[in-house]
Amino acid sequence: MEGTQEEFAIRVRDLVVGFGRQTVLDHLSLDVRRGEILGLVGASGGGKSVLMRTIIGLIPRQGGTIEVMGQPIGGRTLGAATTWGILFQQGALFSSLTVRQNVQFPLRENLVLSQELMDEIAIAKLEMVGLRPQDADKYPAELSGGMTKRVALARALALDPPILFLDEPTSGLDPIAAGDFDALIRTLQKTLGLTVFMVTHDLASLTTVCDRVAALADGKIVAIGPMRELLQSEHPWVRAYFHGKRSQMLQHQMR
Ligand SMILES: Nc1ncnc2c1ncn2[C@@H]1O[C@H](COP(=O)(O)OP(=O)(O)OP(=O)(O)O)[C@@H](O)[C@H]1O
Ligand SMILES: [Mg+2]
């Protein structure tokens, strides 16, 4: 059943994206509901990052339509930074800037605020992601992997966007740090009412934080629903992904 427009944060219809002769997304359609955490899985090189980058207008599309918060996204335009925050897969912080300056970067780019107010905002955002005020003066090279992700998250939240895009946020973290990060995402989503679009390979994240999971294969969304429904999917790639030897072992260990 088609819902009302207000029900969806992101609506993608018949999206076609390619590079040269390679078609990456082939008439892909996807709805992200407002306030949900949607997980996206798919083969490596399957187009997950391309989908995310196309939605935010960084990659031009050859066909289809994209609506974010009810507004159409132009083919080549950069979207408003106030609508979404992004944690990129190679989520590099600016290495020559301190944590504080990194978090303030979107503020400087988009608003005219006093230094005092920007400092207050930076500290508030750092606290929001579980970092201490004294971390603000550190440089990226002085941070652990988990801290780096948190700073990138604080930067993504700097402008209070309603939508958060996360591209493999827990990759490279140990299971405890990854679990903490998942819990943080869940808390932020609840308290701020965020819509979260998260690319992840992390079965624990998919199972514990995602309201729904979408599977990308052959350039399309081939299955979408709560994790328990995905586990029932008959699609060959989805079956292989969740019921292959490696994931069976992990699921067994998770019980
Ligand atoms: N800017 C680009 N120019 C040309 N080809 C690109 C570009 N970006 C991505 N691709 C190609 O698009 C395909 C999908 O890449 P993408 O980064 O979306 O994969 P992914 O699903 O995110 O994989 P992973 O799980 O490894 O991150 C790949 O074949 C990649 O080489
Ligand atoms: Mg990727």
Per the domain annotation, does 111 fall within a domain? yes
Pair of tokens at residue 226: 């709560």
Q: Which amino acid is at 54?
A: T
- Cβ of 44 less than 6 Å from ligand 1: yes
Give per-residue pLDDT as tens, 186-216: 999 999 999 999 999 888 899 999 999 999 9
Q: Is the CB of 42 under 6 A from ligand 1?
A: yes
- From the CB of 48, is ligand 1 less than 6 Å away? yes
**In a domain? residue 172:** no
CA distance 167 to 56: 13
Establish if 157 belongs to a structural domain. Answer: yes
Tokens of 252: 């067994």
Q: Would 128 be classed as within a structural domain?
A: yes
**Cα separation, 246 vs 103, whole angstroms:** 38
Range of the domain at 129: 97-161
Tell whether 123 is covered by a domain. yes
Q: Between vectors from CA 200 to CA 158 and to CA 250, what angle results, nearest 5°?
A: 140
In a domain, 88, yes or no: no
- Nearest-CA residue for ligand 1 atom 25 is 44
For ligand 1, is residue 49 a contact (CB within 6 Å)? Answer: yes
Number of domains into which the chain is organized: 1
Q: In this predicted model, what pLDDT tens digit does every residue of 9-68 receive, in sequence order?
A: 999 999 999 999 999 999 999 999 999 999 999 999 999 999 999 998 889 999 999 999
Residue with CA nearest ligand 1 atom 6: 19
Element (H, E) at 31: strand 22-33
Task: Tell me the pTM.
Answer: 0.90
